[in-house]
Amino acid sequence: MARRLRPVGPEFVETAALRLVFAREVAAPPEAVFSALAEDVSGWSEWFSAVTLARPTADGAGREVRLRGGGRFEETVLVARAPEVYAYRVDSTNAPGLRALAEEWRLTPAGRGTRVQWTFAADGTALFRATLTVGRSGLGRAFRDAVRALDRRLASAPA
């Protein structure tokens, strides 16, 4: 059953009770990475293995995302500033214990490539926060694998 979460703004990624930050460099330029994140939402399932479905909603102002294991999210895009920042918040989900969630993808040039930083900012019950803290390494591994797969996908895309 989907539950409505507390609406948060882009500042939540800096002020959340729980913030997990991961970063990795890729060979693709920031413009290509931003395009894959913000403009090719449906393509997320091709490079982020946890995602089984992603599609834009509300003429691109929102997203619907489904994860392996049955997680479902209705989201609102908070920031889409090419090629630097793509951020969204979760409006409703079936994930237990969650009260608020926003994610930010920050892209900065790194030589000829891009430094991709993903901030996962959440608030929830004590059990939710403890579970996420324990699961940090798994979330980090999912991020690394996804960004590696995205970089390979972008490298093989026709110019």
Q: Give the pLDDT confidence of 5-14 residue by residue, as tens digits.
A: 999 999 999 9
Count how many domains the chain has. Answer: 1
Here the tokens at position 18 are 């729980």
Angle formed by the axes of helices 126-134 and 136-156, nearest 10°:
60
CA atoms within 13 A on the CB side of 95: 27
The CA distance from 104 to 12, in Å, is: 10
Question: Is 80 exceeded by the pLDDT of residue 71?
Answer: yes
DSSP secondary structure letter of residue 151: H
Closest by CA to 138, choosing from 67, 79, 81, 77, is: 67
Question: Rounded distance, CA 135 to CA 142, Å?
Answer: 11
Name the strand (E) or helix (H) holding 45: helix 44-47
Q: What is the pLDDT of residue 159?
A: 63
For all residues of the chain together, what is the average pLDDT? 95
Q: Reply yes or no on whether the pLDDT at 75 is more than 70.
A: yes
Give the integer Cα–Cα distance in Å for 55 and 48: 14
- Please state the φ and ψ torsions of residue 77, each to the nearest 5 degrees: -75, 125
CATH number for 128: 3.30.530.20
pLDDT single digits (tens) 79-123: 999 999 999 999 999 999 999 999 999 999 999 999 999 999 999
DSSP state of 157: S
Beta bridge partners of 10: none
Angle at 115 between CA 38 and CA 49, to 5 degrees: 55
Kindly tell me if the per-residue pLDDT of 158 is higher than 80: no
Nearest CA-CA partner of 110 in 139, 79, 147: 147
Structural domain containing residue 128: 3-9+17-155
